[in-house]
Structure 1
Amino acid sequence: MTWTMLDHPAWDTDAGAPARAVRAGSATWVLTTTPAYAATLVDGGGSPPAPDVHDPSRLDHARLPEGLSRALTALGRVQRVRTIDLWEALATAIIRQVIRARQARVMHHAFRQAHGERAGALALMPTPDRVLDLREEEFAALGMAFKRRPLQTAARAYLDHGAEWAELPPDVLVKELQSVPRIGPWTAAAAVADVSGDFSLYPYADLAVRTWAALADPATTWPADEPGFAATWRRLAGPYLSALTVLTLAWGDHHAHADQGSTHH
């Protein structure tokens, strides 16, 4: 079985099954995972988004603690759909700043439903132009008053530099995004990992990775501080830093959804 990661807060439920509306250039697609992954064209044209597949058998398990190796092996093959639209990835990372994942998911959903373009029952991330048009009270009505400035600052920067950013290699883009006020290292790295699929760029010592690693392998004593965990994680991963990070996040995503009684396909 191949599991689909539902970590991105744009995954909603439509007719009782996971679904997500995405932009891919001028096209809009609706992605579903039941009974199998599928992409249905809503508007525009082009090639449908295809998931990246991650297989734990490709890790160097000799480097890993036994418990983590066992947990990731049991997870099996994982597929994750990259966010194709850099603006969506950036806005999502900003919404995720300094709040819990569940709160970010609720806020992300409410923001899209209130101000995003429709794709059937689903909604897309509001465009940069739409975000700039929103009034302070419209953010406040969604409990997002503290997100207004960073989102609008990022929207202006994206309109000015988005075409240039799209041409940059991912590691350079991480640095370039940090020139925008209110976009720090975590936000830039999370956005670029989301859009590039390269999770060696993800802030892999953040709370999410540390939490899931400890839950997947409670027998190992993991460093509690970010620098110590980061050094340990790089050593364990060796040349497979992206794969180890995304598979650990996938384990956590599957664990969280299993606790909520839902399934991935």
Structure 2
Amino acid sequence: MPVVPDRSWAPPEPYDLRRSLLVLRRGPYDPAFRETRDGAVWRATRTPRGPATVRLLPGRPVRATAWGPGADWVLDRLPALLGADDAPDAFTACHPLVAEAHRRHGGVRLIRTGLVLESLIPTVLEQRVTTEEAYRAWRLLLRRFGEPAPGPGGEAAPELWVMPEPRTFALLPSWEWHRAGVDPKRSAAVVRAVRLAGRMEEAARLPLPAALARLQAVPGIGPWTAAETLQRSNGDPDAVTVGDLHLPGVVGHALAGEREADDARMLELLAPYAGQRYRATRLILLSGVLPARRAPRQRHARIARL
């Protein structure tokens, strides 16, 4: 029988494996992300060496088992994926609500996948639509044009799918994007990005300003998409999201009781957290102190039915 590679990493206490990795899940039915009853997190990914599936079992240490051509690539970067490069002790809370969230969720670490396109593409799909529409598009594209993820098989292993190769995305005809509910602006942005796949992936090794500039050089990728991508691929604690419909109001409500805060006001309120603004917003969201949500910018509509 072939040897299945595995690895382990002992995180400092406290540590919350599930919440740390949950930012990678694109909805409860993400074909590339599953949780099983034993507490394990399963993830399918496309690495520079090919597809891989990794099973992460919580504990001390966290134990990882991987399958597929990209198994060694994933396991070699296991500590970064689990948040070893993060430095949560560098964070100082300047507001009681943030301090309480930091205390309660001290086990959440900022993860680093080292892979840009796998976060960039689903983030582009989330532009200007409801999360339900974006998650549906991601599911359909993976199941129709991706490939079954490598794995152990058997009833205990969930069915996972690896996202399509960049070339596959680049060659998708317009009617397939339409069937998935993706409008021409978003599909064009994805196609431009995957045609520059090598340049996009280099951003995972760049400092934040250079990485943001690299992604935003592609038409259709703005500050919101770039920040949301680099939060996952680079794990940068200062990759604050601007241009979001809800986040300024959430931050304004939590820190100053201002429901109608805009991006400028949000950044003003986050100024004491310079260098850690993404972590601060993550903690605010985890606090659960949220105002009533606004309606999406666009009406909910599946363009495949038009």
Q: Same fold (TM over 0.5)?
A: yes
Question: Are the counterparts in 2 of residues 205 and 229 from structure 1 also a CA contact under 8 Å?
Answer: no
- 1:171 and 1:219 map into 2 onto residues whose CA distance is 28
Which of 9, 19, 29 pairs up with 2:52?
29
Describe the superposition over 1:198-254 as per-residue Cα deviations: whole angstroms up to 9, x where unpaired. 031232573454465478x4884466211111111122x2453343234345556xx
Quick one: percent identity of the two aligned structures?
A: 23
- 1:123 and 1:98 map into 2 onto residues whose CA distance is 26
Give ranges in structure 1 of 5+ residues lacking alignment: 253-265
Which of 15, 23, 39 pairs up with 1:7?
23
Describe the superposition over 1:168-197 as per-residue Cα deviations: whole angstroms up to 9, x where unpaired. 433212112222121122212222232111
Which of 196, 207, 216 pairs up with 1:157?
196
**Scaled by the length of structure 2, what TM-score is found?**
0.67
Cα distance, 1:162–1:205 mapped onto 2, change above 3 Å: closer
- 2:165 and 2:218 map into 1 onto residues whose CA distance is 18
Q: Is the aligned partner of 1:195 residue 2:208?
A: no
Give ranges in structure 2 of 5+ residues lacking alignment: 1-13, 152-158, 289-306
- 2:267 and 2:146 map into 1 onto residues whose CA distance is 37
- 1:185 aligns with 223
Cα distance, 1:15–1:207 mapped onto 2, change above 3 Å: same
Cα drift, residue 131 of structure 1: 0.5
- 1:89 aligns with 119
- 2:126 and 2:111 map into 1 onto residues whose CA distance is 18
- 2:136 aligns with 106
Cα distance, 1:130–1:12 mapped onto 2, change above 3 Å: same
Cα drift, residue 57 of structure 1: 5.9
Question: Are the counterparts in 1 of residues 237 and 276 from structure 2 also a CA contact under 8 Å?
Answer: no
- 2:103 and 2:243 map into 1 onto residues whose CA distance is 21
Question: Are the counterparts in 2 of residues 2 and 78 from structure 1 also a CA contact under 8 Å?
Answer: yes
Q: Is the aligned partner of 1:140 residue 2:181?
A: no
Mean CA deviation greater in 80-89 or 174-183 = 80-89
Task: In structure 1, give the amino acid aligned to 2:221.
Answer: I
- 1:39 aligns with 64
- 2:92 aligns with 60
Which secondary structure does the structure 2 equivalent of 1:199 belong to?
A: coil
Higher helix share: 1
- 1:194 and 1:167 map into 2 onto residues whose CA distance is 13
Task: In structure 1, give the amino acid aligned to 2:266.
Answer: F
Question: Are the counterparts in 2 of residues 12 and 122 from structure 1 also a CA contact under 8 Å?
Answer: yes
Q: Which has the larger radius of gyration?
A: 2
- 2:267 aligns with 230
Which secondary structure does the structure 1 equivalent of 2:66 belong to?
A: strand
Which secondary structure does the structure 1 equivalent of 2:46 belong to?
A: strand
- 1:243 aligns with 279
- 2:167 aligns with 129
Which secondary structure does the structure 2 equivalent of 1:206 belong to?
A: coil
Mean CA deviation greater in 44-53 or 91-100 = 44-53
Question: Are the counterparts in 2 of residues 83 and 89 from structure 1 also a CA contact under 8 Å?
Answer: no
Cα distance, 1:131–1:164 mapped onto 2, change above 3 Å: same
Cα drift, residue 98 of structure 1: 1.4
Question: Are the counterparts in 2 of residues 24 and 84 from structure 1 also a CA contact under 8 Å?
Answer: no
- 1:251 and 1:104 map into 2 onto residues whose CA distance is 25
Question: Are the counterparts in 2 of residues 68 and 213 from structure 1 also a CA contact under 8 Å?
Answer: no
- 2:7 aligns with none
Count of residues in Structure 1 that have an aligned counterpart in Structure 2: 247
Cα drift, residue 74 of structure 1: 1.5
Cα distance, 1:182–1:218 mapped onto 2, change above 3 Å: closer
Question: Are the counterparts in 1 of residues 238 and 275 from structure 2 also a CA contact under 8 Å?
Answer: no
Question: Are the counterparts in 1 of residues 251 and 281 from structure 2 also a CA contact under 8 Å?
Answer: no
